[in-house]
Amino acid sequence: MNVTQSKKPRVVVVSGGSRGLGKAIVAELLAEGDIVYTFSRSQTEFVTSLMAGPESQRFSWRAIDGTDFESVEHYVNEIFEREGRIDALVNNAGIAIDGVLTLMRTEDISSLLGLNLEGAIRLARSCAKFMLQARAGSIINISSIIGIRGYSGLSVYSATKAGLDGFTRGLARELGGRGIRVNSVAPGYLETDMSEKLNPDQRDQIIRRTPMGRLGKSADVTGAIKFLISDEARFITGQTVVIDGGITC
């Protein structure tokens, strides 16, 4: 994709942008000509290549754990001080820990709630205060079909993603009058690092149950995110866009 030169670059914050879906989101936004700030717990080869490449003037990465709320807020404040605005946020960082609820470790429950839900809420709050000043902005929360449909062994993960969808609707009502849109994107099973944990039987079963007959690709999701951030989606807010090849239909 060619970098678009005719529009002013947007300043976009992406949490968890070093691998998986987050990596694809960062790459797509950079290809659009946007200025992208991201953070994750560890640096990857993808991050290293961007920092050393031609995109380095429009890309910034910081090593931050998404549950280190003070460091996350400080980073967002730094972004605003440097750029003077934050146009969009993609709340992507998250972890998946499976396990039957009665056997799950308390620390795993806390980790899921802390990063997937509280981390996303706190990051949205940090970015929204600057969007309110501009009376414009777009927040995209990456939820999941698992928050819509029940899956055995994923009750806590499901709770965090369903919580994100509820947060999306409530925040959309709070911020809509100030020109800020809030939406969720709920992917199905994607060909990412997380899906590599599936055994062949699980993978085949998911594909059989999916009308489109395959797992999703990151590109299937990034197009929707790019659209929801854009001016073309200026009257869309409070929605959860499901991208799952039809498995929930």
Give the span between the Cα atoms of 82 and 214, in whole angstroms: 43
Cβ atoms of 205 and 152 within 8 Å: the answer is no
Query: 37, 75, 157, 189: which is the annotated catalytic residue?
Result: 157
Choose among 240, 226, 247, 215: nearest CA to 7. 226
Length of the chain: 249
Q: Roughly what angle, to the nearest 10 degrees, separates helices 69-83 and 120-134?
A: 20
Q: Label residues 182-196 b or e (16+ Cβ within 10 Å = b).
A: bbbbbbbbbbbeeee
Structure tokens at 173: 């009502």
Residues in Cβ contact with 182 at an 8 Å cutoff, skipping those fewer than 6 apart: 124, 138, 139, 141, 168, 171, 172, 175, 176, 237, 238
Does residue 157 carry a catalytic annotation? Answer: yes
Catalytic residues: 157
